[in-house]
Amino acid sequence: MEVLGFSPVTVINYARPVRDLMIHTGAVPEELSADDVIEHLHEYQQQFGIGSSALNIRICGIKFLYREVLDRPDFALDIPNPRQVKQIGTILTEDELLALFDACSGSPKRLALLHTLYATGIRVRELSQLRQTDFDRSRRLITIRHGSKGGRHRVIPYDEALHDTLNTYFRTVKPKEWLFNAHNKTEPVSTRGVQFMLRGVVKKAGLEARNIHPHTFRHTFAVHYLNNGGNLLRLQQLLGHAHLSTTSLYLRYVHVSLNDIPSPLYTLLQKQRGQ
């Protein structure tokens, strides 16, 4: 899994259910039938009261074992995944974003960090690994190397607003190799460091009642991008999603007025009339 570019968290989440399967059944996976695995999953869910999302992660781990390690794709297909409605989580309003940015007053690093998350929609793990050499300042492009989901590279643009924020940050903080350094100045900031920094900003902004974490800015970027007229296919590229179905989840949170858009019939007849 590490060779395929899976994140350390995914490796743990996929390996743990395989371990539990062997402990519970007292057998190696090769000796088990699909019914044995389904019975184990049912009993595990009943015993620990896990929800469909947690159960689905366990099923994905077991399916990966049979499909990729044991070369038994037919077996994996016999294990059903629970139906679940995926929820995006907190979407920040513009007023809440401005309150968070105001709470960064006096800290160019915190402001640059939040602006980068919101302006690009990158994952916090990707943010923590950004080097200054990943920025093409002449063309305003950022290269995300080995994205945290699937290890794919992608290039995303950044505009004048983020450019100005980062310029101020560079002049005042003078970071070294990494875009955001840890306190020791030589290592990149960790995801936990970003989370700790954000908690302080959220508290100062008086938004502790909201469930705000670094990934909230990715969700907010996606919804605001679509609300501002962005293209769904382009959003898929910007977010680095392998499947459009993942990006499509954001559509349920979009509120774009269609009143000012003429119907296809109107547009066609206008063309016919040469107008």
Residues labelled as active-site residues = 123, 149, 215, 218, 241, 253
Which pair of tokens denotes residue 116? 């980068």
Task: Find, among 168, 169, 178, 101, the residue nearest to 135 by Cα.
Answer: 178
CA distance 170 to 214: 22
- Rounded to an integer, what distance in angstroms lies between the CA atom of residue 114 and that of residue 198? 8
**SS3 of 181, please?**
strand
Strands across the sheet containing 135-136: 135-136, 141-144, 154-157
How far is the CA of 73 from the CAs of 62, 78, 202, 228, in angstroms?
A: 11, 9, 46, 42
Q: What is the largest CA-CA distance in the chain?
A: 76
Judged by DSSP in three states, 141 sits in: strand
Residues found in the chain: 275
- Written as six digits, the tokens of 19 are 């371990």
Tally of CB atoms within 10 A around 258:
6
Strand segments, DSSP code E, in 112-211 are: 135-136, 141-144, 154-157
